[in-house]
Amino acid sequence: MSTNTATPRRLRWRSLVLLALLLAPLLWPVHFLAERYYREVLIEQNRQTLDLYVANLLGTLRRYEVLPQILGDLPGLRAALHAPEDPTALDNANRLLARVKSQTGADVIYLMNPRGVTLAASNWDKPDSFVAGNFAFRPYFREALAGRLGRFFGLGTTSGKRGYYFAYPVREDDHNIGALVVKVDLDHTETLWGNTPEQLLVTDTNGVVILTSRPDWRFHASRPLDRVEQSAIAANQPYPTQAPPLLDIDPNAWLTQSRSLEETGWTVSILAPRILLDRPVRSAVAVGAAALLALLLLLGLLILRRRHYLERIALDARAKAELEQRVTERTQDLELLNSRLKQEVLEREQAQQELVRAQDELVQAGKLSALGTMSASISHELNQPLGAIRSYAENASTLLDHQRSDDARANLKLISELTERMASIITHLRAFARRDRHAPERVALQPALDDALALLAKRRRAMDVELIRDLPDATLWVQAGETRLRQVLGNLLGNALDALIDKAPPRRIWISIEHQAEHLHLLLRDNGPGFSPESLARAREPFFTTKTSAQGLGLGLAICDSLVRALDGELLLANHPSGGALITLRLRLATPGVNLQPSEDPSP
């Protein structure tokens, strides 16, 4: 008896072992799929990190790119080039460069004569002063004397500190009388990386590491250097050594992603250790192996349970009959339950199909809504310039009939300016639907207001609207964008004129200024009917309007509010106690003076 029971048991456990051997190869596709998945996740994470670092690095460099060209026109620096022996002129130039350096955050700013000798520097009073130093051997100086913007990365021969150099010629009567150089400190870009397993690597055109999160990799060559590169290194001296050692990195131990920067010729790479990929892959394989083991144990338990069940049937026939009866009853219950489950599955499938159709309808409705919003915005924003162009064109035709060619030419010039404004409006309508990428700049408020009033002058005179201005004579500077500020002012003034259409004379518009801490308030008031309670609550909503469909689509104030918030400002709506609407445009004040920021680019 014992022999008969032991043989089937051994056969069953041997079957489990054989099944385990057959299922073991399934761990290989688990390993393959897990590695592919986690590799894609790691690559995407590193790509995003690399994009952020590249954007920060390029932003740091572009911040100072136009600074040498702007500073070259300062009279104090030109006086030092004309009188290099005058101590007073040199002292004034030194102090001027020191102030500019403090305001802009540059590392060093210095002025060189045509021979490459430094006449004045922002660090003139420091132990490592550049004054009297000759840097004619640097490539940026040669490029500046050739009339181009010089670029160069290297280790300072005087300060021993890394930096990126921008140089631009100081010209007078088509001659280069010197060069102005701005050195940018890039050390802080390494500290931004932080303490992470991924490593940063920035190599220059020679393949030498210039920025890295690993100090022991700095100034190592990522590849062998040829003779031309070695000669250039010896001539320009960008590194602490003329023979950079080769960087010893095991390519199998790192996952590398790179990005080339065309402006500098650099290559920015992020190296992720292989362990970041191997660790989750091993975990996934371990989970798969555990699941396989659990399956085998479950099968073993099922086999053991079945054997006990058969032994019990063999020992007790009555229990077998009773058990069969229970099985029959259970089967009927299961069939009933299965029928219910099938019905539920059918209902769920129908509900899923209804959900998919509803989602498709929502997507289509979203597309039509976006298309309608874009069409309405373009129509609303371009109607005013188109009306002005039509008026100027008719006037030009009349002037040509009277042989007043100069006046007609002036009208054509205004038409050209209006077409440029229309192109700018189209560009900024795109910005209404996404985050504006233009940083606010210094903008003179009065000229922008004068331009907006000029576009509406003919309509204002036709309506006999009196304009009452209470503005200071001194130019007011605010943080805004040239085109966007004109667009906002034009819309607000146009809305004020619309409010006065049904108003009996006298019709008036008041424009005044209030100062509040670091902000400036531009107040626009009319003596029209003012805002109703519903208008005050919903005026900023797109497509809300109290006009007829022919007069407007209700997008003006919504667009103005979006543009003002993008400029870090605020648009306030209220009714004046004496009657009429009162609109307050709240903008941040800017420091008066030369605008050192690049002008707003209206390109898409």
Q: What is the largest CA-CA distance in the chain?
A: 129
pLDDT reported for residue 88: 92
pLDDT reported for residue 375: 57
Arithmetic mean of pLDDT, 281-291: 81
Q: Which is higher by pLDDT, 16 or 502?
A: 502
- Computed from CA positions of residues 137, 140, 145, 146, in that sequence, does the dihedral angle turn out positive or negative? positive
pLDDT reported for residue 301: 77
Helix axes 482-499, 405-433, angle to 10 degrees: 100
Residue 84 above 60 pLDDT? yes
Determine how many CB atoms are found less than 10 A away from the CB of residue 199. Answer: 18
For the ranges 27-36, 111-120, 507-516, the lowest mean pLDDT is seen at 27-36
Instruction: For residue range 448-504, list pLDDT tens digits in order.
Output: 888 888 878 888 888 888 899 888 888 889 888 777 788 888 888 888 888 888 888
pLDDT reported for residue 594: 52
Residue 370 above 60 pLDDT? no
pLDDT reported for residue 598: 41
Q: Which is higher by pLDDT, 389 or 188?
A: 389
Token pair recorded at residue 190? 């390494």
Separation of alpha carbons 428 and 486, rounded Å: 12
Separation of alpha carbons 215 and 200, rounded Å: 11
What one-character-per-residue DSSP string does 330-351 give? HHHHHHHHHHHHHHHHHHHHHH
pLDDT reported for residue 555: 60
The number of C-alpha atoms within 13 Å of 371 and in the hemisphere containing its C-beta is: 6
Residues of the chain with pLDDT > 70: what percent?
A: 84
Instruction: For residue range 170-184, list pLDDT tens digits in order.
Output: 988 888 899 999 999
Q: Which is higher by pLDDT, 335 or 284?
A: 335
Please work out, in degrees rounded to the nearest 5, the angle formed at the alpha carbon of residue 318 by the alpha carbons of 316 and 323. Answer: 95
Q: What SS3 state is found at 73?
A: coil
Separation of alpha carbons 555 and 561, rounded Å: 10
Residue 144 and residue 127 in contact, taking contact as beta carbons nearer than 8 Å: no
pLDDT reported for residue 447: 86
Total residues found in the chain within this entry: 604
pLDDT band for 406, please (50, 70, 90 cuts). Answer: confident
Helix (H) or strand (E) holding 256: strand 254-261
Separation of alpha carbons 182 and 107, rounded Å: 8
Instruction: Please state, rounded to an integer, the average pLDDT across all residues of the chain.
Output: 80
Determine how many CB atoms are found less than 10 A away from the CB of residue 434. Answer: 7
Tell me 517's DSSP state.
Answer: T
Q: What SS3 state is found at 312?
A: helix
Please return the burial class of 595, using the count of CB atoms within 10 Å of its CB with bins 0-12, 13-18 and 19+.
middle
pLDDT band for 548, please (50, 70, 90 cuts). Answer: very low
How far does CA 443 lie from the centroid of its chain?
Answer: 22
Determine how many CB atoms are found less than 10 A away from the CB of residue 476. Answer: 19
Token pair recorded at residue 73? 């026109």
Q: Which is higher by pLDDT, 398 or 454?
A: 398
For the ranges 77-81, 190-194, 427-431, 569-573, the lowest mean pLDDT is seen at 427-431
pLDDT reported for residue 111: 94
Arithmetic mean of pLDDT, 580-604: 65
Residue 98 and residue 129 in contact, taking contact as beta carbons nearer than 8 Å: no
Return all residues near 460 (Cβ < 8 A) that are at least 6 apart: 453, 467, 497, 509
Determine how many CB atoms are found less than 10 A away from the CB of residue 139. Answer: 17
For the ranges 72-76, 222-226, 428-432, the lowest mean pLDDT is seen at 428-432
Residue 203 and residue 153 in contact, taking contact as beta carbons nearer than 8 Å: no
Residues of the chain with pLDDT > 90: what percent?
A: 10
For the ranges 116-120, 270-274, 405-409, 554-558, the lowest mean pLDDT is seen at 554-558
Amino acid at 390: R
Question: Cis ω on the peptide bond leading into residue 472 (within 30° of 0)?
Answer: no
Arithmetic mean of pLDDT, 79-100: 91
What domains appear along the chain, each with residue ranges and CATH number?
67-185 (3.30.450.20), 347-434 (1.10.287), 437-588 (3.30.565.10)
Separation of alpha carbons 40 and 47, rounded Å: 10
b/e sequence 357-393, b meaning 16+ C-beta within 10 Å: eeeeeeeeeeeeeeeebeebbeebbbebbeebbeebe
pLDDT band for 360, please (50, 70, 90 cuts). Answer: very low
Arithmetic mean of pLDDT, 301-307: 78
pLDDT reported for residue 364: 45
pLDDT reported for residue 379: 65
Separation of alpha carbons 353 and 116, rounded Å: 77
Instruction: For residue range 93-129, list pLDDT tens digits in order.
Output: 999 999 999 998 899 999 999 999 999 999 999 888 9
For the ranges 178-192, 383-397, 418-432, the lowest mean pLDDT is seen at 418-432
Q: Give the CA radius of gyration of the chain.
A: 38
Instruction: For residue range 227-254, list pLDDT tens digits in order.
Output: 888 888 888 888 888 888 888 888 788 8
Per the DSSP assignment, residues forming a β-bridge with 164 are: 153, 184
Helix (H) or strand (E) holding 462: helix 457-463
Separation of alpha carbons 511 and 255, rounded Å: 62
pLDDT band for 168, please (50, 70, 90 cuts). Answer: very high
* Three-state SS sequence of 223-249: CCCCHHHHHHHHHHCCCCCCCCCECCC
Separation of alpha carbons 546 and 551, rounded Å: 9
For the ranges 96-100, 220-224, 297-301, the lowest mean pLDDT is seen at 297-301
Arithmetic mean of pLDDT, 32-61: 84
pLDDT band for 418, please (50, 70, 90 cuts). Answer: confident
Helix (H) or strand (E) holding 355: helix 317-401
Separation of alpha carbons 144 and 154, rounded Å: 17
b/e sequence 323-334, b meaning 16+ C-beta within 10 Å: eeeeeeeeeeee
- What is the reported pTM? 0.45
Q: Within 24-86, where are the H helices?
A: 27-62, 67-71, 75-82
pLDDT band for 55, please (50, 70, 90 cuts). Answer: confident
Arithmetic mean of pLDDT, 323-328: 87
Token pair recorded at residue 93? 């130039």
Arithmetic mean of pLDDT, 10-27: 66
Helix (H) or strand (E) holding 212: strand 209-212
Determine how many CB atoms are found less than 10 A away from the CB of residue 428. Answer: 24
Q: What SS3 state is found at 106?
A: coil
Separation of alpha carbons 419 and 493, rounded Å: 20
Residue 557 above 80 pLDDT? no
Separation of alpha carbons 382 and 143, rounded Å: 46
Place of tokens 């500098």: 264
Separation of alpha carbons 588 and 425, rounded Å: 23
